[in-house]
Structure 1
Amino acid sequence: MGQTIEAAVSPEPTDEPTATVPWRSRTVQIVLTSTALAPLGVPLISPALPVFRDVFGITDAQASLLVSTYFLVGIVLSPFIGILADRIGRKRVLVGGLLAFGLLGGAMAIAPTFEALLALRIAQGTAAAAIFITTVTIVGDEFDGVQRNAVLGANVAVLSATAALFPVLGGLLAGIAWNAPFLAYLAAIPIAVFAQVALDEPDRSDSGHGIAYLTDVARTIVTPPLMALFVVAFLTEFLLFGVIFTAMPFVLATAFAPVMIGVVILASETASMVTAMSSGRLARSLSNEWLIAVGFACYAIGFAGAWAAVDLVPTMGAVVVVGVGVGLLMPVVDAAVSDRVTTEYLAGAMSLRNSTTFLGRTTGPAVFAGLAISAGFGYESLLLASSIVAIAATGVAVVAGPVRLARATAHHAST
């Protein structure tokens, strides 16, 4: 079941190749190209929301449903998708998810009404959840130790890079025609064909059927260590989307043009990408618990720096530190979950992680906007409050590492 407890806390030195990404691996190529599609979901169409509003004669709130419903479906259906991947195989779910993602997205280009467009969008959110879940599950199946961290780091780096580039592409396509951005989704179809031809289905043991299987999945997933990791996943996305993608743009809008706000967010995404690419090397010398602690410490420093900043340069520096935290936290959560779950239930665990991730992305902006406007706290105060929350999370992670090591040592001595 992955690394031993002692190795997870204090990784032994390994040969350098084990901490690198096997770029020639067909599995890695399929995972990374599939992951590259993920930002087509929201960043690609976000710049075009005003265009959709004007074309269909709807309100801003109605146009925003194209974003919110995309994540909400994933929150609800991710566990069922995970169970399906454990029962019928990762490859079938990934290929089906890619085909549905591409075909449903392409169909949006000819949607006759906004209601039809929204219905296609909701269905596409289900397909996107299938891609998210199966890609990280396949990495957990195929790789171990620090190499797993390295591949998951590359996965986050690809996600950050495309998330930074696709808003520009979406804006350019929307300038050509209102439905041109949706044609980009068709890129998922050749990737699905590639996955069908080149991907090998990981070996899985027969884990039972029906109610017995569901009971085994719940027993495996609902444990204190895994629940703690899901809290980390939620808090990572909740603070990221609440601060960087909600509070910061409103704070910066009082002094800077929208293009500069985009540059600030791009700086954060770039730092996340660079850091995530180093995840495997970092995992050779630091345990997952310590990497989580350092990640939240970066959050605390970055949020506090953004709160104190009075000019663009210090603000840029602050969000870069936050981006480093994102690049540390995201790969480590998936690696740590993979360490603790056997292969036959890994997709179920990853599906719950996906639900918590989507929940953080959905609630973060809503909570921060509500507290800032309705409750009257103001976005600046929320930056400082977020730093305090991140400090608390850092402290919990710092304590968790030694406690786990002490328990592992006691268990080892008793056996």
Structure 2
Amino acid sequence: MSLTRAHTKLIRIRTNLLNRKSDLMPNPNAWTTKLTIFLASSLTVMAGATVSPSLPAMKQNFASTITDPDLLTTLVKLVITLPALFITIGSPIAGLIIDRFGRKPLLLVATILYGLAGTSGLYLESLPAILVGRAFLGLAVAGVMVSATTLIADYYSGPARAAFMGLQAGFMGLGGVLFLTLGGALAQQNWHYPFGIYLFAWAIVPLIMAFILEPDRARSLDPREIEESEAQSSSLPVAVLAIVYGLTTLSQIAFYLIPVQLPFFLETLVRAQPSQSGLAIALCTLFSALASVTYGKLKQRMEFITFLPIIFGLMGIGYLLIGQSTNWLQVLTGLAIAGMGLGILMPNMTVWLSTTVPDAVRGRALGGLSTAMFLGQFLSPIVTQPFTKPLGFGGVYALTGGILIVVALAFAVFKSQVRNLTRSQAI
């Protein structure tokens, strides 16, 4: 009897210890966990556009070492777009890593690398060396973005997931406002200084270690579970993937006209200083954030496809207004309108994808979304540069706006056909 009592007492002690341990574990619904995800997500906004106000000064600084003006312009713009290329390369790899080894380890390592690579322009005086740093920054962003977004999809479902994705995009937008405004002010002093903002990533590292909970995916799969996972993978919603990835790439080609081309456009239009360019881009980001936080409520009344004409319609109207602008106020108005469309875009695409794909391949699917997003950002100057000389900056914005309006009208007219193709329902 005494042995039984002792065994019972040991079980009780073990249970209490486990309960205490679970109480100390991070909780996905705790505000500390949510804040950590929001802060990590804001790093993706910082990746390129934060140093955008420095571009004209960088071009002037390196003019003495790179005498070919076209080559110089291309290399300086790569400071913004090169991370996008390496995010494109790294995102599918990040998706495989987190599906195999977990979300938290990659998020932690990528955040550390982010701070190290992002600050390259703070102390380097060689443009090629800075570009190498920007390449590593892109790999870091891929890890941060894919792991953070997949954690959200793991933690939440249904309306809670849609609301959180909207809040995530909104927080990223507000972070972008802060970083862009600060970047513009620092660029006014010296083009090196905005690169110091990337050190913010290291402040998030302790929060990730303390408050991010790794989803319970560590258990080994038996043969039946492997077969089920493979069956799910073979039943991927191809039509949804094609639409989401394709539209995301197109939208980012259009979006990156703002951080890459706008400083030069404003310089020729109103002789804008770097701080003014930073504020203009920040205004677009602010309206994007305001639109994003409303997505959760809007999604309760609208299906994914219904958002598409609204998204591309707002972007198209905004770009058309920028394209025909003759003063500062018109440009800002166009940026605000386009920003609202951009703010709804990514939450809608992310929730649509994470709701539709099987859990077993969620990391890879969201990695593909990151690839599509940043492929568009990298392709933006390549696709639009040939039109810049014959049309001018304003003409390129107007042409892009017209294309976006056509896309919006197409989805408005053929909404039923697209719905039948994807078989998506408002969830």
TM-score (norm: length of structure 2): 0.78
Q: Is 1:362 aligned with 2:368?
A: no
Aligned equivalent of 1:31: 37
Residue pair 2:181, 2:278 contacting (<8 A) in 1 also:
no
Q: Distance in 2 between matches of 1:71 and 1:247?
A: 16
Q: Give the Å deviation of 1:32.
A: 0.5
Does the aligned pair in 1 maintain the 2:319–2:334 contact within 8 Å? yes
Equivalent in the alignment of 1:8: none
Answer yes or no: is the 8 Å Cα contact 1:53–1:63 preserved in 2. Answer: no
Question: Among residues 111, 116, 135, which one is paired with 1:98 in the alignment?
Answer: 111
Pick 1 or 2: higher relative contact order, CA cutoff 8 A, min separation 6: 1
Q: Secondary structure at the match of 1:286?
A: coil
Per-residue Cα deviation, 1:30-83 (whole angstroms, up to 9, x for no partner): 210112223332233333453597489643444444333222111122111111
Q: 1:233, 1:357 within 8 Å by CA — same for their partners in 2?
A: yes
Q: Look up the SS of the partner of 2:85 in the other structure.
A: helix
The alpha carbon displacement at 1:165 in A equals: 2.6
Number of equivalent positions: 386
Residue 239 of structure 2 contacts residue 422 of structure 2 at CA under 8 Å; is this kept in 1? no
Q: 1:289 aligns with which of 305, 322, 325?
A: 305
1:188 paired residue number: 201
Q: Which residue of 2 aligns with 1:345?
A: 361
Aligned to 1:157: 170
- Distance in structure 2 (CA, Å) of the matches to 1:52 and 1:293: 38
Q: Pick from 47, 52, 57: which aligns with 1:46?
A: 52
Counterpart in the other structure of 2:250? 235
Mind listing any 5+ residue stretches in structure 1 that lack a counterpart?
A: 1-21
Q: Distance in 1 between matches of 2:59 and 2:327?
A: 35
Q: Deviations over 1:194-220 (max 9, x none)?
A: 1122111123376799x9999879746
Separation in 1, partners of 2:31, 2:415: 33
Quote the offset at 1:367 in angstroms: 1.8
- Alpha carbon RMSD of aligned pairs, Å? 3.6
What SS does the aligned partner of 2:48 have?
coil
Q: Partner amino acid for 1:194?
A: L
Give, in angstroms, the shift of residue 111 of structure 1.
Answer: 5.0
User: How many Å apart are 1:117 and its aligned residue?
Assistant: 4.0
Matched, 1:200 2:192: no
Identity percentage of aligned residues: 22
Counterparts of 1:12-411 in structure 2, within 5 Å, are 24-49=30-55, 50=57, 54=61, 58-59=65-66, 60-61=72-73, 62-105=75-118, 109=122, 115-173=128-186, 180-204=193-217, 219=234, 223-242=238-257, 244-246=258-260, 251-259=265-273, 260-373=276-389, 376-398=390-412, 401-403=415-417
Q: Distance in 2 between matches of 1:257 and 1:304?
A: 21
Deviation per CA, 1:117-148: give whole Å up to 9, x if none: 44333222211111111111111111222322
Whole-Å Cα distance in 2 between the matches of residues 315 and 114 of structure 1? 31
Query: 1:102-129, CA deviations, whole angstroms, 9 ceiling, x for partnerless residues?
Result: 2334576555855544433322221111
CA contact (8 A) 1:247 1:369 kept: no
Quick one: distance in 2 between partners of 1:318 and 1:64? 23
Whole-Å separation in 1 of the counterparts to 2:84 and 2:338: 23
Stretches of structure 2 lacking an aligned partner (at least 5 in a row): 1-27, 67-71
